[in-house]
Structures are given as C-alpha cells and as structure tokens.
Amino acid sequence: MGSADQTGCQIWGPLNFIHPEKARSLYIEHVYEHYCKYWCSTRQGFLRKAKTFRKEDTDVNMTGKVCMVTGANQGIGYAIAQAFASRGAKVYMVCRNKERGEIAVSKIRSETDNKRVFLEVCDISSLQQIQTLTSRFNDTNQPLHVLVNNAGGLELTRRESEDGLELNFATNVAGMFRITELLQPALKKAAPDCRVISVSSSRMYLSSLSMSLQFDDEGKFNPMEHYQQYKRLQVAITEYWAKIYGPQGIGFYSMHPGWVETEAVRRNNPKLYEKQRKFMRTPEQGADTVLWLALKPRSKLEQGGFFIDRSARAKHLPGFGTSYTDESFSTTMRVVREKCTLLMP
C-alpha cells in the first residue's frame, strides 16, 4: 500500500539543523501549501494543465448511459450532473432536500434540453434512506454505467447521524460505501462499461488510515483532521473495491477536484473565500476530471487510481508518513463495513 516513507528532514536538506519532527511538519506544510494547493489546485493550475487536455476525450455522446450523482443540487455535483445531461445521458440526481433538488433538476432539464434527468431524494448520511433508494433503483432493472460519489462536506462540530455515526464519517464515508455496495447489481448489469468515481480531496495526502473512526472523545474533535482522514479513506476504499469488484468489470477511481468556489468553501471559511476567490476553480473546472474519468476507455485508466486534472497521481507523497500496511488496510475496511452494517461480499 504505497511506497515506503522517508522522513521530511532526510528529504529536505536545509531543515536538517532543527528537530526532526518540527522539520517534518514544516516540510509537509510547505509541500502541501505550495504544491497541492497553489500549484495543482487553483484555477491557474487547472488552466496550465488544461493546455494538455484533448478535446475529443470529453466530446463524447452519452446517449444510452445511465448515471447517478450524489450531492447534485449545487457545486461540483451539479456541474457533473449538467455535464452528463448535456451529453445525452439519463441522470439521477441524488439530493437530500426535495425542494433544492427539484429546482436543480428543472434547471438542468431546461439548460440541456434533456428530459431524462430525475431527482432521487436521499440523505446520504442515513443508512436506511440509502437502503430505500438502492432497492428502488435495483428494482427498475436498469444498468448503472456511472456512479459519482460526490456528496460530502465538513461539519465543524461533532454531531451524529440518525444511526449514531459521527456525521462527517456518515456522509463522506458510510454513505459512499453503502450506496456503492448496495448498487452492485445495477453496476454489474452495465459491466464492463461501468465505473464508480469518488470525489476525494488532496487533503487526503495529509492523513494515513485511522482505526478510530468515530471520534468519541469530544475534546479531540478536530473537523479538518477528520475530514482529511475520511478523504484518505475514500481513496483506500476505492483501492479495496478495485481489488474485490474490479475483476467483475467495474472501474473504480478517486479524484481531487481542485480548490473550487462552492457553497461548502464559502460556508466553512467566509473570510478566506472572499480573499481567495479569484484563485479558485469554477465548479465546471472542478467537475472536469470526473467527466473525463466517466468517458475515457476503461482500458486506459489505472484501476483503483487517484486522479487530478486528468492524470493518475501518487496516493502518498514522499516524507508525509501516510503509507499503511496491508493488515491495517484490511482491518480498516472490515471496520467500515461493520459501521455500514454490511456483510462481507
């Protein structure tokens, strides 16, 4: 699982004169801020990389394809649903709020002139609501060609879902895990032209796998730290699915959309948002790699890979100390499965 790590001070010579742990955290902060955030994630980073993009990769008609996008009423999810609908796909938009969902569906229908855009009301943090949605969908006997696990976000205080799961975990991890597992019958019907794309974040580079998934100790609740742990888990879960379901003709990919001007960013840090808006990507730019992953022939994509701006990227950065053993990987996947009340496949 990832390459062996070195410590930051071994990598960055100039920091050898200070304490190794301090050097390591300075190194990580420097690389993350400059490389992940400003070099790769900004609008300028996207435009620089977009010069290498091939128009024909996304100029593809999707008529006949059935797609589902979670968290689709705004932000990156909305842009993804719109991109699929404008290419003729049948799109199911999974939204937790009926009113906001209906507005988004009718907007996309009129913007794209595609009437095959439908609302599925489901709070992705609720195990029962996912059960209801997936049973209803599987009962239609339709294939599902593309599932995008996009719904997610950051809860700044410790709250629990209706199932007693910490809410960030319930939305970002349990929701994604359960919907994908329970939609296997529909996904398998679309195989081998079938893929599951999960919207993670470059913040996952700052975290390894954690055994403590519920953060019961309130004093230690640190939302950003937990967010990045869950984003790391999404990448690991994608690797896990690639191993167990990949051979059945389903592609699994995780990706980082970049730093995108959305409601989530505005709500969580309004001051930073106002100051940095001009550096942020549009939701369409954030959605670009998802669209590309949905359209590129599967044989050209790295199974279980993590992607930024239409390229497979490393899942661990040197010196970040985030690699994990096969044993902790298997244990974590078992714990996630138990939390989602799912049996082994």
Q: What are residue 225's phi and psi, to 5 degrees? A: -65, -40
CB of 247 to ligand NAP, least distance (A): 28
Contacts of 24 by beta carbon, 8 Å cutoff, 6+ apart: 7, 8, 9, 319, 321
Q: Is 227 a catalytic residue?
A: yes
Considering just the CA atoms, what is the radius of gyration of the chain in Å? 20
Instruction: With contacts defined by CB under 6 A, name the span among 31-39, 151-159, 205-213, 245-253 that binds ligand NAP.
Output: 151-159
Q: Which is nearer to ligand NAP, 23 or 105 (CB)?
A: 105
DSSP 157-226: S--B-TTS-BHHHIIIIIHHHHHHHHTHHHHHHHTTSEEEEEE--GGGGG----S--S---GGG--HHHH
152 binds ligand NAP (CB under 6 A): yes
Are 65 and 146 contacting, i.e. CB atoms less than 8 angstroms apart? yes
- Give which of 102, 230, 101 is closest to 167, Cα–Cα: 230
Q: Which stretch binds ligand NAP (CB under 6 A): 84-92, 96-104, 132-140, 186-194?
A: 96-104
Q: Which of 27, 92, 227, 240 is catalytic?
A: 227
The reply on whether position 287 binds ligand NAP by CB under 6 A is: no
Q: Is 223 in the site for ligand NAP (CB under 6 A)?
A: no
Find the shortest distance in angstroms from Cβ 16 to ligand NAP: 33
Please enumerate in sequence order all residues whose Cβ is within 8 A of that of 223, keeping only pairs 6 or more positions apart, or say none: 154, 155, 156, 157, 168
Window of 5-13, 50-58, 139-147, 252-260 that interacts with ligand NAP by CB under 6 A: 252-260
Count other C-beta atoms under 10 Å from residue 158's C-beta. Answer: 18
Binding residue for ligand NAP (CB under 6 A) from 80, 105, 151, 293?
A: 151
Shortest separation between residue 295's beta carbon and ligand NAP, angstroms: 19
Q: How far is the CB of 327 from ligand NAP (least distance, A)?
A: 28
207 interacts with ligand NAP by CB under 6 A: no
CA-CA distance, 250 to 242, in Å (whole number)? 8
Strand order in the sheet with 194-199: 117-121, 90-95, 66-70, 146-149, 194-199, 250-256, 306-308, 311-313
Site for ligand NAP (CB under 6 A): which residue of 99, 139, 162, 263?
A: 263
171 binds ligand NAP (CB under 6 A): yes
**Nearest distance, CB of residue 5 and ligand NAP, angstroms:** 23
By CB under 6 A, name the binding residues for ligand NAP: 71, 73-77, 95-97, 100, 123-125, 150-153, 171, 199, 201, 256-257, 259-260, 262-265
Active site residues: 227
